[in-house]
Amino acid sequence: MSERAKEIEKSAEEIVESFVKDAEKLPELKETYYSQETYNITRPDGEPSPEAERLSFRRKFISNMPGSDDKGNLKVEVAKWSKER
Amino acid sequence: MVQRTLEKLAAIKRGEISAADSVAAALELIEKKDKKINSFIELNQNARADAESLDRKIKGGKKVGRLAGLVIGIKSNINVAGLRATCASRTLENYTSTYDADVVKRVRAEDGIIVGMNNMDEFACGSSGETSAFGPTDNPAAFGHITGGSSSGGAAAVAANFCDICLGTDTGGSIRNPASHCGVVGFKPTYGLVPRQGLIDLGMSLDQIGPLSRDVAGAALMLETIAGKTGNECVMLDVGKVNYSEKLESKGLNGMKVGISPKFSELTDPAVMDVIDSQVEKLQDLGAEVVDVELPNLEHGLSAYYLIVSVEFFSGTRKFDGRKYGKRIEEACGEEVLRRILRGRYISQKEYRGKFYQRALQVRTLIRKELMSALKQVDVIVGPTVPKLPHKLGAKLSLMEMYAYDYLTIPANLAGICAGVIRAGEVNGVPVGLQIQGKALGELDALQVMRSLEAIE
């Protein structure tokens, strides 16, 4: 990790510690993950998109890829960070 | 005060001014003035053609939408097909959106003309508008000062008269904070009212998309355009079409109860508070009953928020690994984005989850309960938006000084309630905004208070 990243990580951890101190005297309550409990969380099943729309999306998606082969398949190098593990 | 948005809309619909001329004038103004302000990252090359197409529709006597011909800017973390959703980061600087977000589909369906993608704090991580990889945004209402953030470009584009309305996003105040500093109207909807599909998240349990506009009517029109459930989004309230603009009246506030908290003056610069107090007096003159409400733990929301948002941001950014699109975020992003990722990673470690993350979610419950309890006594709570005046661009602030901009806006996100901002006055030529927090789905009450104040200016 670079010096810059180490410094940033240190400042990130300091904020976390200051939170723990700040929250010391506050009551323990049930956690709130989302603010409401009445979300419409099930989606209706839909029809698949028309083929022309899917192909158009694929073309656009490929244009954003860092690399692709002749058939439009994604080409990537093994990521550096996976070698570091 | 004249409702400029409604007047312009009516003139376009009557054919007195063309949408093409309106867009051309906006683009000319942007060309002339935006080098200094830096409110746009990219302009839409199809905007003129879209406006011409709308003009043909009007001439042909066809029905047009509620945003017909209005000039719209979109924050760069919302997908607009064919334009770059950079999130103002080198990570996504070459990423062209492959689809329209649900809110963008709705804007297009109502004939709004999208002129471009607004500048913002990188990945919405900032409260000043200075962390963009494309440079900071200057404040057209107080040149040389920050605009606030993270929806910096949208607020500046409205303040500079480039756009009628812009879409911003608000996770801890990112619409309301720049609205206050730039002297425009801003509105954060109730969480779950507006679909987030197509938004590149900062914090998925907190983010909402909402309008920045010249006047309350513009905010109401945009809000009713983008609100309502969709099958594409699973975390939504079961709300269909809403209508605010036809119900807003330039009337008094008889029968309305408005809450203020003594906590606000404890946390706020006295000069800002003087401006806010004068607005509270006006609310009383309009017939509202003003009562004190208790928010004893308001300030504890800040640190809880920064922990929660870091965990959600860390999770949301794992897809930016540079493989399918863009660059690996940790290698391309700026300092504040990296800080939030590293903080989120630290908190997410198994051994720290209970100590930090779950504790933050408990504090969220505390803040939510206090706000809900206060809003049982009153219709809205009014107070300052930002506790201090905006600093000069480039001034060095400590991290906690920077985060402190968000003290008063974060609680509404933690509780999931709605909140709007309207210009209240100014201190030494710098705008100050009044924040009106409403109940969950209490948008109409909050907008009505804003419109009543606007009408007497």
Residue ranges, chain B, pLDDT below 70: 1-3
Q: Which pair of structure tokens corresponds to residue B71?
A: 């000039």
Is A82's pLDDT higher than 70? no
> Residue type at B158?
V
Say yes or no: B16 contacts chain A, CB-CB below 8 A: no
Which residue range forms the structural domain that includes residue B129?
4-296+376-455
Residue B266 lies in a domain: yes
Q: Considering only CB atoms, which chain B residues are within 8 Å of A8?
A: 335, 338-339, 342
Q: What are phi and psi of B363, to 5 degrees?
A: -65, -35
For residue B242, is it within any domain?
yes
User: Is the backbone of residue A72 left (phi > 0), alpha (psi -120 to 50) or beta?
Assistant: left
How far away is chain A from the Cα of B375, in angstroms, using its nearest Cα? 15
Does some domain include residue B338?
no
Quote the number of domains for chain B: 1
Closest CA to B302 of B128, B420, B421, B127: B127
- CB count within 10 Å of CB A78 equals 7
Q: Give me the half-sphere count of Cα atoms (radius 13 Å) on the Cβ side of residue B392.
A: 3
pLDDT of res. A79 = 65
Q: What is the pLDDT of residue B1?
A: 52
10 Å CB burial of residue B46 (0-12, 13-18, 19+) is: middle
Whether B117 contacts B86, CB under 8 Å: yes
- Of A42 and B182, the structure prediction assigns the larger pLDDT to B182
Residue at B323 is within a domain: no
Residue A78 has pLDDT above 90, yes or no: no
Cα gap B155→B425, rounded to integer Å? 17
In a domain, B220, yes or no: yes
- Domain-embedded: residue B243: yes
Query: Hey, which residues does B382 pair with through a beta bridge?
Result: B436
What was the pLDDT predicted at A81? 62
pTM for the model: 0.95
- Whether the per-residue pLDDT at A85 is higher than 70: the answer is no
The answer to whether residue B335 sits within a structural domain is no
CATH of the domain at B261: 3.90.1300.10
Alpha carbons B193 and A39: distance in angstroms, whole number: 10
- Say if B25 falls within a structural domain: yes
> Is the distance from CB of B226 to CB of B220 less than 8 angstroms?
no
Q: Give me the residues of B, 341-380, that contact A with CB < 8 A.
A: 342-343, 346-347, 355-356, 358-366, 368-369
B119 near B150, Cβ under 8 Å? no
Find, among B452, B2, B447, B443, the residue nearest to B250 by Cα. Answer: B452
Does ipTM top 0.90? no
pLDDT, one tens digit per residue, over B417-437 is 999 999 999 999 999 999 999
What's the pLDDT score for residue B310?
Answer: 94
B423 contacts B183 by C-beta, under 8 angstroms: yes
